[in-house]
Structure 1
């Protein structure tokens, strides 16, 4: 993938986020999208050796559409200014539907590659499963996220939307109380992709995603293990 061309396209799109501009630049977009699909395919081909669960993921279904859903938004800009993908076992593009942890990455117009692993804003039933797992196997979660290698690639867990208090269905004084307040269970990082080649990007993502396997597996195990506190 020609990353300088991608950044130039996204930068121009940011300044000209209109359907007329996109129509004139559709050939550029088509080439870049094809290249992004090839990069995503290459990533999945390597990643499936680390995580066989995603072996049958369709790369085309992993890629997000560039069109924005503006029906309920004050911002009527028709296009996203990122190229992004979410790799999950069943190929769904929205891990928020409760399908379990995802491998996510996106390129933006500022030359930033954001990559993440975990679950972003899981629905209520899924969030309960994760919180129950924190009660029954909090040590496993802490071991997964506190390893030095993991932290070197994912320095923070996203705390967006964190609750002020422990949910009332769980012991307020539990040792995992701070984590029970979380509404996201996703680790994130950002790096500059300026100057990188597509193979270097794939290698960087694979290295990071390999280190995140303990967290991925811990989150998947929470599908099976639940407990109830009243």
Structure 2
């Protein structure tokens, strides 16, 4: 994939986020999306070597649309300024729909590669199930938290949107209560694309995703 061309397109789209510009540049978008689809397909092939659960995952179903849902948004810009994909066995694009833990990455207009693993904003029933899983499998959760490769690659679980008090039904002195307060169960980081080509992007993502496998597998058992 031509990452320079993708960054240029996304940067120009960021400055001209309107339908007229997009229609004029639709041929560029179609080429870049086709290339991105091939990158995702190759990535899935790499992931299935250490996580067979994603075998057969359709790359087309992994890609997010570039159109934004602006129905309830203050920002009415019609297009996203990222190319992104979410890879998980169910083929769902959004783990928040109940699809379980995912391997996610995006490339933005600034030339950044953002990548994450786990579950972002799971629905209430799934969130409750994860919290129960922590309560009933504290030793297994400990192994995830203490995994050295996961820590080296991503650091700790993200605490964005963490509750200030224990959720209803969970005791304040419960083991791992600070993690039970989380609303997301994921790790993420980012890299600069300036010195990377598509092969290096895939290699970077595969290394990172493999390091997050203990978290992904633990979440699947909950």
TM-score by length of 1: 0.94
| Maintained 8 Å contact 1:3/1:194 | no
Could you tell me which runs of 5 or more consecutive residues in structure 1 were left unpaired when the two chains were aligned.
Answer: 223-230
| Maintained 8 Å contact 2:82/2:107 | yes
TM alignment of 1:3-14, pairs within 5 A: 3-14=3-14
Could you tell me which runs of 5 or more consecutive residues in structure 2 were left unpaired when the two chains were aligned.
Answer: none
Q: Distance in 2 between matches of 1:16 and 1:138?
A: 50
Q: Distance in 1 between matches of 2:117 and 2:146?
A: 15
Correspondence 1:144 to 2:144 = yes
Q: Distance in 1 between matches of 2:138 and 2:177?
A: 10
Q: Distance in 2 between matches of 1:176 and 1:193?
A: 36
Q: Which range moved further: 153-162 or 192-201?
A: 153-162
| Maintained 8 Å contact 2:55/2:89 | yes
Correspondence 1:55 to 2:46 = no
Q: Distance in 2 between matches of 1:140 and 1:89?
A: 22
Partner of 2:79: 79
The alpha-carbon deviation at position 157 of structure 1 amounts to: 2.0
TM alignment of 1:207-218, pairs within 5 A: 207-218=207-218
Q: Distance in 1 between matches of 2:195 and 2:6?
A: 12
TM alignment of 1:1-230, pairs within 5 A: 1-222=1-222
Partner of 1:227: none
The alpha-carbon deviation at position 30 of structure 1 amounts to: 0.6
Deviations, residues 84-125 of structure 1 (Å, cap 9, x unaligned): 000010111011011110000000011110000000000010
Q: Distance in 2 between matches of 1:207 and 1:156?
A: 17
The alpha-carbon deviation at position 182 of structure 1 amounts to: 0.2
Q: How big is the alpha-carbon RMSD for the aligned residues of Structure 1 and Structure 2?
A: 0.9
Give secondary structure in 1 for the equivalent of 2:126: helix
Q: Distance in 1 between matches of 2:9 and 2:155?
A: 30
Q: Distance in 1 between matches of 2:146 and 2:2?
A: 35
Give secondary structure in 2 for the equivalent of 1:49: coil
Partner of 1:225: none
| Maintained 8 Å contact 1:156/1:189 | no
The alpha-carbon deviation at position 146 of structure 1 amounts to: 2.5
The alpha-carbon deviation at position 142 of structure 1 amounts to: 2.5
Q: Distance in 2 between matches of 1:115 and 1:19?
A: 28
The alpha-carbon deviation at position 141 of structure 1 amounts to: 1.7
Deviations, residues 41-63 of structure 1 (Å, cap 9, x unaligned): 00001111111111011000000
User: How many residue pairs get matched?
Assistant: 222
| Maintained 8 Å contact 2:145/2:156 | no
